[in-house]
Amino acid sequence: MLETSTPFSTLIRTATEQQHNEAEHSTFMRDLLTGQLGVEAFYRYTSQLWFVYAALEKHSDALASDAVAGPFVKPELARLASLEADLAHLGGENWRDELTALPSTAAYAARIEEVASDWTAGYVVHHYTRYLGDLSGGQVIRGTAEKLWNLPKKGDGVRFYVFDGIDNPAAFKRGYREALDRLPIDGPEVDRVLDEARLAFTMNTDLFRELGAEFSARN
């Protein structure tokens, strides 16, 4: 049982622990990372991330000066330019013409845009779910992708997973969690924020499910 004095960073991790496990062990992720799907599935996944990060980073300038979101919005986290380099490598010069959002991706990006404009504590939750995950499990995905599809180490194709501006990810994550602990929220707002975190994870598993329907393992 968590006490009310439990740091918010612990509350949010605990509230989403089971869903994290489900996302990590989803059929699509498992098949992708055990080499049962081709590089085109990785390309499609990366293209869905483009919509998610376009939404996360669209209002970065305004959010950087927001009292609640400001401490989290940092240029060294920005992923859109890296995603575009990866997509150009994976999909060729016409990658933009092939870019289409799956329904779950469109819903996810729309939700991020909504909270970015009217509920910045909700935006922080989506920021946490993606960027802290990318700094953690994302590193597993990078190493596996490089090997499976013979992509240049930390180069085009996997730049999304490479944070050149962050020398010490463990220290960065510690600082990020401390910022979470300082979020100016209390009372019912805490529950509302934790519900949004569960929604953020659900939106990621919905995306994996749709990708899994599009690409299934060779039996």
Please, are residues 99 and 152 in contact by the beta-carbon 8 Å criterion?
no
Q: Is 20 annotated as a binding residue?
A: yes
**Which one of residues 24, 66, 84, 113 is an interface residue with ligand HEM (CB under 6 A)?**
24
Q: Is 13 annotated as a binding residue?
A: yes
Q: Does 133 bind ligand HEM (CB under 6 A)?
A: yes
Q: State the nearest-atom distance from the C-beta of 212 to ligand HEM, in Å.
A: 13
Q: Is 209 annotated as a binding residue?
A: no
How deeply is 61 buried, as exposed, middle or buried, from its count of CB atoms within 10 A (0-12, 13-18, 19+)? exposed
Q: In angstroms, rounded to a whole number, what is the distance separating the alpha carbons of residues 148 and 172? A: 29
Q: Does 77 bind ligand HEM (CB under 6 A)?
A: no
Name which of residues 155 to 214 contact ligand HEM (CB under 6 A). Answer: 173, 201, 204
Helix axes 39-58, 80-91, angle to 10 degrees: 150
Per CB under 6 A, which region of 80-88, 101-109, 122-130, 186-194 contacts ligand HEM?
122-130
Q: In angstroms, rounded to a whole number, what is the distance separating the alpha carbons of residues 179 and 9? A: 9
Give residues with Cβ within 8 angstroms of 215, minimum separation 6: 28, 31, 32, 37, 38, 40, 41, 44
- Nearest to ligand HEM of 24, 93 (CB atom): 24
Q: Does 140 bind ligand HEM (CB under 6 A)?
A: yes
Name which of residues 4 to 23 contact ligand HEM (CB under 6 A). Answer: 13, 20, 23
Q: Does 55 bind ligand HEM (CB under 6 A)?
A: no
How deeply is 92 buried, as exposed, middle or buried, from its count of CB atoms within 10 A (0-12, 13-18, 19+)? exposed
Which residues of this chain interact with ligand HEM, rule CB under 6 A?
13, 20, 23-24, 29, 33, 128-130, 132-133, 136-137, 140-141, 173, 201, 204
- The binding site for heme b consists of 13, 20, 128, 177
- The binding site consists of 13, 20, 128, 177
